[in-house]
Chains A and B, each alone.
Chain A
């Protein structure tokens, strides 16, 4: 089902150097550095300090816990393999309270107090948007793991990159072909009435129309709503597919009431797993979702065609085949998002090694090295799958997964091509000065 438009090439240092267009001699010298020399350097070198902007408290704390767990796991793995340029990696975690103002303060601490080489790890869009200007002012490379379209939209700056997770615009757009071809062309959208829901409304409406489909109704639900029955009669009778992206504490109630409204004869349903990220699908009330479809950033349940990369990644983070913690099967991870931390730090490693990164003064070289990246093969560094990085927009693009709820598990039904996720560039950051 996967149709990649590019020949996969790994983001090895060699490839990165190649894409950087450095001389063959320089490349040979770097790669021929013997192991003992790398370790010798490791012993005498300062660690690479990565300022981890962690949603430890506040609205993002549930995601923050898994972002932290993934980050600790990937750093352990990178250090075990010799670190970055032979230097160990050290995580300097600061809680941003999922608060934009504190986010900017944390960036300042990374740059001015903790002597960090980069800032990294932010998920929530408002924190990214609040922090990115300060990162640019302080000339601190800022690697976000946010999914927001704000990077590729051009509203940020040359110092802010998103190389480890795809953005919401590409995700939503890539769903339209599958929905139109397999589920139906007459869509009713139910979404929370704020920016998150509006993004889905706008991107999906445009994308489904491009597929010859039609959005019959757009039902916006006030964010503080906790009972939904009164909205359901607004669903047009000829609806073939309900597209839902409800988030927040009332999601379980939403599903339960939707089930009560439709009974056994429901239209097809398509949702984003963001609604039920870290929620056990075997929870009471969710039986109604049996047979419905969800977007997943990374399949939560180990699939029949599981790659060795996914297997190793799960083991490293301590996640079982159901996407839950190995020490508590009820502790479900944020599997669709947290791989972004793993992949981003591997991109940072590849970028630093390609740039011959030594000190903060090399920040522009690091950014240019990442901008020069293109194809990233599915690998231990990219367990979610192959990707393509757009250096101009600082945004990575990758396969999206559509899973069907089967026996209270998510079984992969379709993998989109990377091509499905692409859209015209909206910015060229490489033209901005450092």
Chain B
């Protein structure tokens, strides 16, 4: 994990240091200095290596001056908004300009890596059925939730489209099509758009948030195994279009890849500040735009549902939480309401922005244009929300790698190995963890306002129009920063 923050920081900082040095504009220089400071702030709070590692974490968080942190965080985002109003147009455009590095060549490597990924998945499903029943001793839940859902999603968002190589379907499908000479024999109706992807992603979110035992190895093995097989058959039947339009996880992962520092520019491999790809790609369709908001809405509810505030709202005593099976309906309802609320608030901000500049751009077009600017917020929140559990569960990942079948094996030669949560037990380490989380949230929002501004400049021509159109969305983002940081600081059950 340590390399990722480094790569992120380096790309981030280099970009600031090297961008548009020819300009002598005073405001520009001040802006550059300020943004450099923000970059340095991120550098300071994102640790280069995992810090040492639960029970009392919340207690220490309550003792931290989180009110000050929250206001500072939101102010940083607000300040970025103000800076953007006075910066010359070319500044933001140059920030998001990538550097082409290598010419890309076609290779069959992704078929091989995808097949290996599929083999790993089949093995994990088998272990899910026949290995330990303990979700933190069985490799399937540890790999699926910790390595893939928490870790891999973050990497995909920070680096780029790794899923292209590691998805467990394209390789096996390619081989099956060639060996069995199968051609797609069904047509996915165009009119469906991305609705099937929305359905599958929301089913996944519902499983994550409301299922009573999403980490139970056997249950997870059934779900993962069945979904993998179903998707494999669907791709064989409908062709690769199924992965692009109907398989919700792949659609979401490709959306996150738009945030990665590495990507394609024409036929070249390029690197740039997170968001450059989102700006270079065509605006998403309405279905993908909705999915981008669902990613943030579902992710946000995945923190909100643990807060004392929410538990109080549904009449549950957080100190004697009755278990997930007692709150299935409440979680499902909350998930739906949170997403409806978020989509409405976003749409309202876009509508107001368009109205302010008397734009002829229809709301649906504006909705799609700016949706990618939500991605860094969703990614920042994903990283922030899961960071503490990753610190603990990644240790369990190490223990299942060394002893995958619980037979007492020690392939990594770890010796007597104890998982620790001691880092939740001191003020200093809890502060560092909290600030790292806050940095992910604030960093995500700063990128979001920059990205939205760049999109507005591209589509609304003048700085004045761009700035004016962005006032409601920028306000929405500052308020969401407050909300995101409040979530991190809130007592949880």
Contact = CB atoms under 8 A, between A and B. Distances in A.
A234 interface: no
A218 interface: no
Contact of A248 (B136, B319, B324, B426): B319
Contacts of B56: 249, 252, 278-280, 283
Contacts of A45: none
Nearest to A60: B321
A54 B426 CA distance: 26
A284 B422 contact: no
Contact of B425 (A57, A61, A97, A331): A331
B323 interface: yes
B256 interface: no
Given A54-B134, A95-B134, A285-B63, A328 B318 contact: no
Contact of B419 (A58, A65, A126): A65
Contacts of A100: 322-323, 325
Interface in A324-363: 324-332
A22 interface: no
A283 B320 contact: no
Contacts of A223: 317-320
Contacts of A329: 422
B319 to A, nearest CB: 4
A251 interface: yes
Contacts of A330: 52, 420, 422-423, 425-426, 429
B418 A318 contact: yes
Contacts of A324: 422
Interface in A225-254: 226, 247-253
Interface string B52-80: 11111011111100000000000000000
Contact of B326 (A57, A62, A101): A101
B181 interface: no
B212 interface: yes
Given A101-B326, A252-B60, A252-B62, A95 B422 contact: no
Contacts of A102: 212-213, 323-325
Interface in A301-329: 318, 324-329
Contacts of A250: 59, 62, 491
Contacts of A383: none
Interface string A175-189: 000000000000000
Interface residues of B, number: 48
B419 A248 contact: no
B225 interface: no
Contacts of B136: 56, 95
Interface string B129-142: 00011111100000
Contacts of B269: none
A224 B323 contact: no
Contacts of B426: 280, 283, 330
A85 B109 CA distance: 57
A127 B326 CA distance: 12
Given A56-B134, A283-B426, A285-B63, A278 B55 contact: yes
A274 to B, nearest CB: 11
A114 interface: yes
Nearest to A249: B58
A109 B219 CA distance: 13
Interface in A83-126: 92-95, 97-102, 109, 114, 126
Given A224-B312, A325-B418, A253 B320 contact: no
A59 interface: yes
Contacts of A284: 63, 427
A194 B416 contact: no
B387 interface: no
B491 A249 contact: yes
B420 A194 contact: no
A125 B363 CA distance: 54
A69 interface: yes
A56 B54 CA distance: 13
B8 to A, nearest CB: 28
A277 B56 CA distance: 9
B216 interface: yes
B420 A196 contact: no
A192 interface: yes
B492 A99 contact: no
Contact of B63 (A101, A126, A253, A331): A253
B107 to A, nearest CB: 42
A187 to B, nearest CB: 23
A196 B317 CA distance: 12
A195 interface: yes
Contact of B212 (A101, A109, A226, A318): A101
A99 B323 contact: yes
Given A102-B212, A223-B318, A256 B63 contact: yes
Nearest to B490: A226
A226 B62 contact: yes
B425 A332 contact: yes
Nearest to B55: A62
Given A279-B55, A330-B52, A101 B325 contact: yes
B206 to A, nearest CB: 17
A226 to B, nearest CB: 5
A252 B59 contact: yes
A224 B420 contact: no
B249 interface: no
B152 interface: no
A247 B61 CA distance: 16
Nearest to B425: A330
Given A248-B319, A250-B59, A252-B59, A59 B423 contact: no
A407 B326 CA distance: 44
- Among B54, B320, B492, residue most surrounded by chain A Cβ atoms (within 10 Å): B320
Contacts of B493: 59
B477 interface: no
Contacts of B491: 224, 226, 248-250
A167 to B, nearest CB: 17
Interface string A256-283: 1000000000000000000001111001
Nearest to A68: B134
A280 B418 CA distance: 18
Interface string B404-426: 00000000000010111111011
A284 B430 CA distance: 12
Contacts of A247: 319
Contacts of B423: 330
A194 B419 CA distance: 32
B386 interface: no
Nearest to B491: A249
Interface in A61-93: 61-62, 65, 68-69, 92-93
B125 interface: no
Contact of A328 (B311, B416, B420): B420
A284 B59 CA distance: 11
Contacts of B55: 62, 277-279
Contacts of A127: 323
A80 to B, nearest CB: 13
Nearest to A95: B135
A279 B59 CA distance: 10
Interface string B75-97: 00000000000000000000000
A327 B448 CA distance: 42
Interface in B427-476: 427, 429
Given A278-B55, A330-B52, 13 more contacts: A92-B133, A98-B323, A102-B325, A114-B133, A224-B308, A224-B491, A226-B308, A249-B491, A250-B491, A253-B62, A284-B63, A285-B63, A331-B421
Interface of B: 52-56, 58-63, 132-137, 212-213, 215-216, 308, 311-312, 317-326, 416, 418-423, 425-427, 429, 491-493
17 contacts: A54-B134, A92-B133, A99-B212, A102-B213, A102-B324, A109-B133, A248-B318, A249-B58, A250-B62, A251-B59, A252-B62, A253-B62, A283-B60, A285-B63, A327-B420, A328-B53, A330-B52
Q: Name the 3 nearest CB pairs between A and B, nearest first.
A: A99-B323, A330-B422, A249-B58
